Amino acid sequence: MCYSAKIQANYREYVRLYGADIDIESFRRLYFARAASSDIKIPKAVDVALAGDAEISAAIAEYKTLRTRKLEADLFAQRARLAAAEKQLAVKVTKKASEDVRIATDKIADGQSWLEDLRRQDLQERDSRIFPGWYAPVLIELDGKRLVVPMRYRCRIPGWTEADEKQKPGAYNAKISSLATAWRKVFGFTHGIVLADSFYEHVDRDGKDVILRFDPTPPQQMQLACLWTRTEIPGADDLWSFAAITDDPPPEVAAAGHDRCLVPLKSSNVNAWLAPDPSGRAQLREILADHERLYYEHQLAA
**Average pLDDT taken over every residue of the chain:** 95
d(CA 238, CA 34): 14
Q: Has residue 34 been placed in a domain?
A: no
The angle at the Cα of 276, spanning 26 to 23, to the nearest 5 degrees, equals 15
Is the pLDDT confidence value at 2 over 90? no
pLDDT tens-place string over residues 54-101: 999 999 999 999 999 999 999 999 999 999 999 999 999 999 999 999
User: Residues 19, 49: one domain?
Assistant: no
Q: How confident is the model at residue 38 (pLDDT cuts 50, 70, 90)?
A: low
> What is this structure's pTM?
0.93
User: Residues 86, 202: one domain?
Assistant: no
pLDDT of residue 170: 93
Return the SS3 of 67: helix
Q: Which domain holds residue 241?
A: 4-24+131-300
pLDDT of residue 3: 84
d(CA 142, CA 228): 12
Q: Assign residue 270 the CATH number of its domain.
A: 3.90.1680.10
> Could you tell me if 212 and 300 are in contact, meaning their C-beta atoms sit under 8 angstroms apart?
yes
Quote the radius of gyration of the chain (alpha carbons, Å): 21
Domain total in the chain: 2
Last residue of a domain, one of 92, 109, 124: 124
User: Residues 57, 162: one domain?
Assistant: no
Instruction: State in Å, rounded, how far the first CA of the chain is from the last one.
Output: 19
User: Residues 158, 10: one domain?
Assistant: yes
User: Residues 135, 109: one domain?
Assistant: no
Q: Give whole-number Cα distances, 280 to 25, 225, 272, 287, in Å.
A: 33, 17, 10, 11
